[in-house]
Amino acid sequence: MTEPLDYTELIGAMKRCTLIMTDSGGIQEEAPSLAKPVLILRETTERPEAVMAGTAKLIGTDSVRIYDEATELLTNPESYQKMANAASPFGDGQASDRIVDLCAKYLKIA
């Protein structure tokens, strides 16, 4: 089994994988920007945005459900693409530049 991955290795793994099954909140945020579907192994999530946007699906921990949902994504390209290509609700990569601009405006130096 794999030892814990550091930050950049985990991104490397997310980039190369086909599908992600996780209970991690951070991965739910990151995966859509790498066009990877996420099956959330929980009953609830603090990030309903991902589920609403269609980038993630809340499936719980029932073994039959886990198998069925993964099988659907592994065998039906249409279902896979629909999740993989849904737009990320978490950002477009420009947040930091916006924050700098907004601070400059607030301080009246822009």
Partner 1 sequence: MNSISPVPVCIIAGTRPEAIKMAPVIQAFQKSPLFKTQVILTGQHREMVDQVMAFFNLKADYDLAIMQPKQTLTDITCLAVRGLEELFVKLQPKMVLVQGDTTTAFAAALAAFYQQIPVGHVEAGLRTSDIYNPFPEEANRRLISQIAQLHFAPTTLSAENVEKSGVVGEIHLTGNTVIDALLKVAASNPPCEIPDLDWDKHRVILSTVHRRENWGEPLSDIITGFQKILDSHPDTALVLPMHRNPTVRDPLQAALGSHPRVF
Per-residue tokens: 101 = 């601009």
Name the residue with tokens 């929980």. 42
Q: Give yes or no for a contact between 56 and 82, defined as CB atoms under 8 angstroms apart.
A: no
Q: Is residue 88 a contact point for partner 1 (CB under 8 A)?
A: yes
C-alpha radius of gyration, the chain, whole number = 17
Q: Is residue 7 a contact point for partner 1 (CB under 8 A)?
A: yes
Q: Is residue 76 a contact point for partner 1 (CB under 8 A)?
A: no
Containing 8, the helix (H) or strand (E) segment is helix 7-16
Q: Is the Cβ of residue 20 or residue 56 nearer to partner 1 in the bound state?
A: 20
Kindly report the number of other CB atoms within 10 A of residue 93's CB atom: 8
Q: What residues from 27 to 66 belong to the interface with partner 1 (CB under 8 A)?
A: 27, 29-30, 33-34, 41-43, 46, 48-49, 61-66
Task: Tell me whether strands 38-40 and 56-58 are parallel, antiparallel or unpaired.
Answer: parallel
Q: Is the Cβ of residue 82 or residue 89 nearer to partner 1 in the bound state?
A: 89
Q: Is residue 104 a contact point for partner 1 (CB under 8 A)?
A: yes
- With CB under 8 A as the rule, give the number of residues binding partner 1: 66
Q: Which residues does residue 40 pair with via DSSP β-bridges, in sequence order?
A: 22, 58
Q: Which residues bind partner 1 (CB under 8 A)?
A: 1-24, 26-27, 29-30, 33-34, 41-43, 46, 48-49, 61-67, 70-71, 74, 88-100, 102-104, 106-107, 109-110
